[in-house]
Structure 1
Amino acid sequence: MFDGVSLEVRNFTHENFNQFLENIGQINNCNYSRGRKIVFWSNLRVYYFSNENVLRIQNSLHKFYNSEINNFGLYNHDDFTYSKVEITINYIENKLNVSSNEIYLKGKFEYGLNIQTFKYNPFKDIIDRFQSIVTTATNPFYVLYNENGKPFLKFCSFNQYKIKIYDKGKQMELQSRSKIMRYEIVNHNSIKTKKVFNKSIITLNDLLDKEIWNRCFYQLLKSYNNIRVLPFPDEVSIGDYSKCLLYSSLIFKNDYYKVYKKNYKDLKLVHNSIKNNESGVYFLIRQKLEDNYRQLLLN
């Protein structure tokens, strides 16, 4: 569920920092740059601002659990369950000797779900057909350039967050038969995360609150339900395909706005009948998101 975080500990003295380095076995591996001390704790980047007595920690909690605690390696394509999150938070508390109620969430915050897509290629068959997310406006998906080969990720940007959907197997360079899709929301700042959590002060301890989990999942499912898609051409007529294209593509909508506005109800009906078809891939993905989330809470 949870992945990349930015954490902050205040009133963290020099003595606290030196004890922390000793606790993690990095007493002689601390670098100094631009007024801050830097140490790598597995995949986590730790910055200590000695003039402010502030400690900041950044990167993936999921990878940290797998590499530091589970000795699995720097991977995050499996499920980061509730019990694993709890173990991770307890581990961090112990090494820092700080309560998770005093470790604040600041800056970027990532959460999402990894789901198996079975016979479907995550990018070619599913993600590449995602065209836009419609809230108060139509926000298009963009393909992220991959300098090492074919693209495997699309993103949709908003003011304070973005939706990222990608082939997790390709990202992690897993075997080609590993068909895993990652559906993720990235909050750019703590302002957005506070809105999602419905709290004015947010801490690492909040990640143990199952109501917070529910609120995050609600955001994931809500955004997925607002995605407009293209059908498979062999499953619909060219007429219905064209209607879905006009309904889902921002460019087509702008170019043919009068046609779009006049035929909106029909376009919506055709599109939604395809996306909500219980034997179709898009309905399957929604089910997988729901099933995966339930399993995360139980394990």
Structure 2
Amino acid sequence: MIDHIVCHTQSPGLAKSLLENNSIDFGAKISQQTGDIFNNGRQDGQFHNLKIQIHHNYFIRLAGSLHTFYNALKDHVNIRGIPMNHDTFTPEKLQSVIGYLHSEFEIDPKDVSIHQIEFGVNLANLPFATEDIIDRLIVYNKYPFDRMKNIQGIGYGRESCLTQYRIKAYDKSLQNGLKDNIFRFEYSAKKMQSIFDKQIIYLSGLSDHNIWERLGERLLKAWDDCIFIDEIDIQKLSKSEQIQIKDFKNPRIWEGYSYKQRSYRKKQFNRLMSQHGQLQIKQQIRNAINHELDKMASALS
């Protein structure tokens, strides 16, 4: 569920310990002329996919996919030889990563605050082509889905971008060179306030059942708030319903609605999809998301 995170902490002792750890590639750590351990006010290091920045005031920034990091430690790679993240990242795997960071690098999870987080589900073996699912997404609330530009590797996906977060839908199997059908739906928070308001979440908090529950609720709501076109036999619709469907497929229409208009139109849209959607794809995917969330919640109990 949890993937990429950005974390902060500040500690002279931890900064020194990290800089002296030979497992982390910092490049030139100490100036031979001055003995200064910082270059241009910052040292950039990396261990597997985890990026570590240490600033002159001992401010430390950690960034990377914990899911990919786990598989890198286990040497689980895709067909391209790259540590993968298309499997299920369970709470147990997450805790093993947090434990590893604590034991190997003295990074105390109670002292590390999370400032950005990505979480979502990898849905395998859905009875629909992933590309078809992605192409049926019109808007998230009123925000259009556009082609993802920074997807890693070969892949296809679309995202809806807001100020504090993004909603992403993409083909995880294509990204990893797999023949399997894996659809990824993800909430990417650039600001934690979009999920937790003013509450500060620490790395240690990711073992809290309430935190996982909150993330799961946010992910489900994000899916519910997507306008998703099902398979419809247009000939079975009235002329007014045909016009409505044509409008609903236009992202610009949703952008132009006021909040009250959008709420009313969304009810109209959902009613049309419920009555005339032949496959009920959105509901089936919602059920699959909920099933994955329930499995993870039970592992925390």
Closer/same/farther in 2, CA of residues 236 and 127 from structure 1, 3 Å limit: farther
Matched AA of 1:120 = F
The residue that corresponds to 2:32 in the other structure is none
User: Whole-Å Cα distance in 2 between the matches of residues 149 and 75 of structure 1?
Assistant: 11
Structure 2: distance between partners of 1:29 and 1:96: 18
- Alpha-carbon displacement from aligned partner over 1:116-146 (angstroms, at most 9, x marks no partner): 14342112x2111110122xxx222112258
For structure 2, the residue ranges without an aligned partner over 5 or more in a row are 30-37, 78-82
Cα contact 1:77–1:168 (8 A) shared by 2? yes
Q: Could you say what secondary structure the match of 1:184 adopts? A: strand
Q: Which amino acid aligns with 1:140?
A: P
Give matches, 1:191-206, under 5 Å: 191-195=193-197, 200-206=199-205
**Map of 2:133 onto structure 1:** 126
Task: Determine helix, strand or coil for the equivalent of 2:222.
Answer: helix
Q: Distance in 1 between matches of 2:163 and 2:257?
A: 26
The TM-score with structure 2 as length reference comes to 0.81
Q: Give the match for residue 7 of structure 1.
A: 7
1:48-59 → structure 2 map (5 Å cutoff)? 48-49=54-55, 51-59=56-64
- AA paired with 1:101? K
**CA RMSD for the aligned pairs?**
3.1
What SS does the aligned partner of 1:112 have?
strand
Structure 1, unpaired ranges of 5+? none
| Equivalent residues in 2 for 1:81-92, closer than 5 Å | 81-92=90-101
Q: Deviation string for 1:226-275 (max 9, x for gaps)?
A: 11122224587465565334235332457899xx89x9465442134456
What is the rounded CA distance, in whole Å, between the counterparts of 1:254 and 1:110 in structure 2?
Answer: 25
The one-letter amino acid paired with 2:135 is D
**Distance in 2 between residues matched to 1:98 and 1:147, nearest whole Å:** 29
Structure 1 pair 253/26, CA: closer, same or farther in 2 (3 Å)? Answer: closer
CA distance in 2, matches of 1:255, 1:77: 37
Retained in 2: the 8 A contact 1:245–1:252?
no
1:283 shift after superposition? 1.4
1:44 aligns to what? 50
- Selected match of 1:165 from 166, 169, 187: 169
Q: Distance in 1 between matches of 2:11 and 2:230?
A: 55
Native 8 Å contact 1:80 1:296 kept in 2: no
Residues 1-299 of structure 1 aligned to structure 2 (within 5 Å)? 1-13=1-13, 14-19=15-20, 21-22=21-22, 25-26=23-24, 29=27, 33-49=39-55, 51-68=56-73, 70-73=74-77, 74-106=83-115, 108-123=116-131, 125-134=132-141, 138-145=142-149, 152-172=156-176, 174-175=177-178, 177-195=179-197, 200-234=199-233, 237=236, 240=241, 242-252=243-253, 264=265, 266-274=268-276, 280-299=280-299
Distance 2:210 2:106 in 1: 26
Q: Percent identity?
A: 22
